[in-house]
Amino acid sequence: MFFVDVILPIPVEQAFTYRISEAEYSFIKPGMRLAVPFGKSKVYTSLAIRVHREEPRIYEAKEIEQILDETPVVGLSQLSYWKWMANYYMATLGEVMRAALPGAFLLESETILKRTGNQTSEDFDLEDEEALAILEAFEGKSILRISEVMQLLDRKKVLPIINKLIDKNLVALDQEIYEAYKPKLVKYVRLAEAYKSEEKMHEALDDLDRAPKQREVLLTFFSLQAGSKKPVKTKELQDRAQASTAQLKALIDKGIFELYEIRQDRISYKGAEDTEVKSLNEAQAGALEAIQESFNHHDVCLLHGVTASGKTEVYVNLIKRYLDQGKQVLYLLPEIALTTQLVSRLQEYFGNKLSVYHSKYTVHERVEVWNNVLNQADKAQLILGARSALFLPFSNLGLVVVDEEHENSYKQYDPAPRYQARDAAIVLAHQQGAKVLLGSATPSLETYYNATTGKYALVELKKRYGNILMPENTIVDIQDRHRKKKMNGHFSEDLLGAINDALAEGEQVILFQNRRGYSPVLECKTCGHAPQCPNCDVSLTYHRHREQLRCHYCGYHIAMLQKCMACGSAELDTKGFGTEQVEAELKELFPDLNIGRMDSDTTRGKFGFEKIITAFEQGEIDILVGTQMLTKGLDFRNVTLVGILNADNMLNIPDFRAHERSFQLIQQVSGRAGRTQKRGKVLIQSYNPHHQILQQVSVNDYEGMYHEQLEERHIYKYPPFCRLIKITLKHRDFQKIEEASAWMGQALKNVFNDQILGPEPPPISRIRNEYHRNILVKIPRKQSLEKTKKAILKVRTTFSSIAQFRSIKIVLNVDNY
């Protein structure tokens, strides 16, 4: 008898064994997908990992349904990478598989399909009767489950047909329905080269004596250009000059104006010349050689370069070297949604060699990239992606660049595997014999520690490109401004003055507030009651635009209250403020300006970010208000002022990294100011202006921050001086969670003594009606991680064997920070 072991994409510990025929035995290779029955009636896509002839002892092996691939879609080296990940992050192989494979590879009986497009089956060469039957079944129905297709065709072997329909774009997986966004083409006018001299200009104005309206258009153009450095839109010009399209066209025909459109959907303020490959300046060239040299003795190098020092150009040059050697390169980014700017920059250099791997792309696109990487196609030599791109089937990887390596979105929180993509990238590179370049202006403490103690190489860029000065930082004491009545809403006179100055110069402004919504707390002035989420232990956030109170943890919402729920008083007060309120105040203060807002409320959908970023780049938005989304490596040329509305709430978050994070956030958001020519300004409003972190930020003292924070980590035993594993217990019953977490805490203390912190309720101790308790295991560097994990798993096994604890959910999070 012949058997195959498979991984199922579900959280079970072991692999499952199925029966196969002799022919299948010689055909199936590890890494091929097989459709297999599971449970009573389910069908899953599984992955073969081994064929053999040993019959399982405890259960009778079922037969597989079908082989789905002719050649493996996953290589042996990926499988061993998955094993490492499952083991290190205490997840199952099935969980890793689910995270790793594109959704389209994992069709299962519960998958929901939608009909796409309006093509009919006749448009396609579908001889297949069954495929036609499936399409017919969609009539009068918007969705179909794969299980329904199985019923329809009266058999279980349906996945290949469905794959075919997906390939032909006739049906799609449900999660793939996204709004379509067509970037609009905006038309601009500029003066023709020949008319740029003063002399020629006077000539032109004289010539236009007999066409007064055209003359007026030209003069209006000058006044628009004088008032701001922004490019002039045709529409704007026509509106201002009250001119017709024909009049504008006449000026274009005369060769005085030139019309231009924005290529793709972005504009370059310098015109076309900066699309060429840039040659590096001395500092950049030195850094590039130092990095290359460091790879002779180190596998990992940190490029610590201040904001706008030109790190991206260094990456580009390094990447080029690896591509020239025929190697694959992976460029990791914290959040792919924010990368339009980078994508177009890299496309200019690498053209078709670049592929983007994006969780918001369609099934189609993702599978295509996957297959291109698998086949080492030219199109996928350079992959730009967020953390899930680690799982692509690389076989010839030469370099991994981890951009903004300090970003916490590299950490996957839910579901398992809860991996840290930067760290996992280093393991991947090691396995593939590749090198890693980590880049940041504000490296994480762990990385900087590794780079200064010799584990990683360290290369620095200390000046901004073009010797532009770092922005000038000013801390504004808002307690003092309140006392002196120099506050207007949440704006100090200092900040308002600076905004006015920047706008007067035709420049743009970024304002940062680390909270969305209008205000996080609504409080009754009479009795002090604040409405809470019924499912979570948090107060509801007021969203004025929708007149709602919303929970940011579970999505619960109710209409805004008119009266206090507790005492009926109509006097309700809002406490604290979010981006929505900042935006509202700005609209009152500057009614003529365009105010934009970028936070997770305004950026839903595939192109949410792009729309806002493009509008800001094109000068359609004067002031952009946002949350930490604003901090991520954006390069706007016309921003000279950054205002931080309130620096205190980040500093006060109860987390051992709060200070480090605040430093990074403020430094990164200030880094958006003054990236070209003019020195930028940053105003930081705080009630606590003498806070050490604010002082350090204001003089860009990364090293001062580093040494001080490192000292604290040393004293209180936190990374990098020890490792952490966080164990979270969840249950709906308060009494039960108290008992269970006490039991688990004690059991762990019996093994690890004082290395255990907790159990304790996290700051938000109930979410979606589940109570949470955390236990933190601190593992000294010298202690074996492997043995520690084994001991934890043993405690967990005993725990789960206690009847009354069986329903408690346990989440293990390795390196949970």
Interface ranges with Zn ion (CB under 5 A): 524, 526-527, 529, 533, 535-536, 551, 553-554, 556, 564, 566-567, 569
Tokens 């967020």, located at residue: 386
Question: Cβ 316 to ligand ADP, closest distance in Å?
Answer: 8
Question: Based on CB atoms, which residue is closest to Zn ion, 143 or 566?
Answer: 566
For residue 527, say whether it is annotated as part of any ligand binding site: yes
Q: Which does 20 bind (CB under 5 to 8 A by kind): Zn ion, ligand ADP, none?
A: none
3 or 331: CB nearest ligand ADP: 331
- The β-bridge partners of 34 are 46, 67
Nearest of 255, 260, 323, 769 to residue 538 by alpha carbon: 769
Provide the minimum distance between the beta carbon of 257 and ligand ADP in the complex, in angstroms, as a whole number.
Answer: 28
**Minimum CB distance to ligand ADP smaller for 176 or for 313:** 313
Sign of CA dihedral 322, 326, 332, 338: positive
Least separation in angstroms between CB 423 and Zn ion: 32
**311 touches, from ligand ADP, Zn ion, none (C-beta below 5 to 8 Å by class):** ligand ADP
The binder of 527, among ligand ADP, Zn ion, none, by C-beta within 5 to 8 A per type, is Zn ion
Classify residue 627 as left (phi > 0), alpha (psi -120 to 50) or beta.
Answer: beta
For 157-183, give one letter per residue: b (16+ CB within 10 A) or e.
ebbebbebbbebebbbbeebeeeeeee
Q: Which residue has the tokens 């949440």?
A: 490
CB of 466 to ligand ADP, least distance (A): 7
Three-state secondary structure call for residue 360? coil
> Which one of Zn ion, ligand ADP, none is in contact with 554 (Cβ closer than 5 to 8 A by kind)?
Zn ion
One-letter identity of residue 766: R
CB 735 → Zn ion: shortest distance, Å? 21
Q: Which does 390 bind (CB under 5 to 8 A by kind): ligand ADP, Zn ion, none?
A: none
The distance of closest approach from Cβ of residue 287 to ligand ADP in the complex, given in angstroms and rounded to an integer, is 10
Q: How far is the CB of 340 from ligand ADP (least distance, A)?
A: 14
Nearer Cβ to Zn ion, position 264 or 569? 569
In the complex, least distance from residue 306 CB atom to ligand ADP, rounded to whole angstroms: 7
Nearer to ligand ADP, 302 or 582 (CB): 302
* 552 vs 672 by CB, closer to ligand ADP: 672
Q: Which does 569 bind (CB under 5 to 8 A by kind): Zn ion, ligand ADP, none?
A: Zn ion
DSSP 398-429: EEEEETTTT-GGGB--SSS---BHHHHHHHHH
- Least separation in angstroms between residue 633's CB and ligand ADP is 6
Nearer to Zn ion, 311 or 766 (CB): 766
**C-alpha span between 27 and 51 (Å, rounded):** 10
- Footprint of ligand ADP (CB under 6 A): 278, 280-281, 284, 305, 307-313, 465, 635, 675
Residue 564, binding choice from Zn ion, ligand ADP, none, Cβ under 5 to 8 Å by partner class: Zn ion
**Residue 554 annotated as part of some ligand binding site:** yes
In the complex with ligand ADP, which residue's Cβ is closer, 466 or 568? 466
Task: Provide the sign of the torsion angle of the four alpha carbons 442, 312, 399, 364, taken in this order.
Answer: positive
Residue 380 DSSP SS3: helix
| Type of residue numbered 753 | N
Residue 308 site contact among Zn ion, ligand ADP, none (CB < 5 to 8 Å, cut-off depends on kind): ligand ADP
Angle at 152 between CA 148 and CA 156, to 5 degrees: 75
Provide the 3-class DSSP secondary structure of residue 259.
strand
Query: Is 301 among the annotated ligand-binding positions?
Result: no
- The helix or strand, by DSSP H or E, that contains position 776, with its residue range, turns out to be strand 770-780
Considering the complex, state which of residue 406 and residue 766 has its C-beta at the smaller distance from ligand ADP: 406
Query: By C-beta, is 441 or 476 nearer to ligand ADP?
Result: 441
Choose the one of ligand ADP, Zn ion, none that binds residue 504, judging by a C-beta under 5 to 8 angstroms depending on kind: none
Considering CB distances under 5 to 8 angstroms, the limit depending on partner class, which of ligand ADP, Zn ion, none binds residue 393?
none
Find the shortest distance in angstroms from Cβ 536 to Zn ion. 3
- At 227 the three-state DSSP class reads helix
564 is in an annotated binding site: yes
User: CA 653 to CA 663: how far, in whole Å?
Assistant: 13
Residues 6+ apart with CB under 8 A from 660: 444, 445, 705, 709
In whole angstroms, what is the distance from residue 613 CA to residue 596 CA? 10
Name beta bridge partners: 301: 437, 457
Interatomic CA distance for residues 229 and 312, integer angstroms:
26
Which three-class secondary structure string do you get for 285-322? HHHHHHHHHHCCCCCEEEEEECCCCCHHHHHHHHHHHH
Known binding residues are: 524, 527, 533, 536, 551, 554, 564, 567
Annotated binding site for Zn(2+): 524, 527, 533, 536, 551, 554, 564, 567
